[in-house]
Amino acid sequence: MRLPEAGGKSMGRPSNEDERAAAHARLFCPAQVRAVLRWLERLGVRRCHRTDVAGQVWLNAWESWPRFEPRRGRPERWLNAITVHVASRYHERMERRREELVDLLDVADPTPDAAAMMESDSIRAGIIDAVNELDPKLRFVLVAHDLNGVSMARIAEDAGLPLSVIYKRRAKAIGALRNIIGLRENTQEFARRVGPQ
């Protein structure tokens, strides 16, 4: 049995307006601003674009706030869904973006010499080996998106996974690839310093 309050309200479950006010206080605070920036980093948004993309997240959140229903889920999950959506649109725009170089320098002979071609082949082979060392789940996303040009949304649909999971896997794949390549470079540098024994 609920006891009536002084204003005629019941003292059981808080009203929808009270829940919205509590959710508003939890969302629009400095801790959530930092959380959005961390989410965007995990979703692969470049550091130089991260604050602009975060601004778009907050603009979308503010504009859609009147439609937020606190009883349908935690406000942080709602904000995370907006962040994933905005990050997805950011990546789609980045894929379509094309930069044209103006006033290219005249190059006497643009054909690379034999040494440059050998070095290029060696780098390519090293990257392929590094990609093959990745966990198969991470390798699948990286190869499909970055080498074969398949959209992230299509990969998520084909794999039957949420788009956010695919973005996280791609970010992990890139990080792991950097670590593998960095470790190889350090090993090669060490071998050069020590020399043959």
Structure confidence at residue 113 (pLDDT): 65
Do 76 and 139 belong together in one domain?
Answer: no
7 is a domain residue: no
One DSSP character per residue, 113-155 reads: -HHHHHHHHHHHHHHHHHHHTS-HHHHHHHIIIIIT---HHHH
SS3 content of the chain, % helix, strand, coil (to 5): 70, 0, 25
CATH number at residue 40: 1.10.1740
Overall pTM surpassing 0.85 (yes/no): no
The mean pLDDT of the chain is 78
CA dist 146 and 152 (Å) reads 10
d(CA 154, CA 156): 5
> How confident is the model at residue 186, as a pLDDT?
74
Of 56, 81, 96, the last residue of a domain is: 96
Q: Are residues 90 and 147 in the same domain?
A: no
Our count of domains for the chain comes to: 2
Where the chain has pLDDT below 70, the residues are 1-15, 97-123, 190-191, 195-197
Task: Assess if residue 4 is contained within a domain.
Answer: no
Q: Which domain range does residue 51 map to?
A: 16-96
pLDDT at residue 117 in the model? 65
pLDDT digits (tens, 9 = 90+) for 80-137: 999 999 999 898 888 776 554 455 555 555 566 666 666 666 667 777 777 888 888 8
Q: Which two tokens stand for residue 79?
A: 């904000």
Residue 129 and residue 79 share a domain: no
Sign of the Cα torsion 65, 92, 47, 49 reads negative
Torsion from C-alpha of 127, 125, 99, 113, nearest 10 degrees: 140
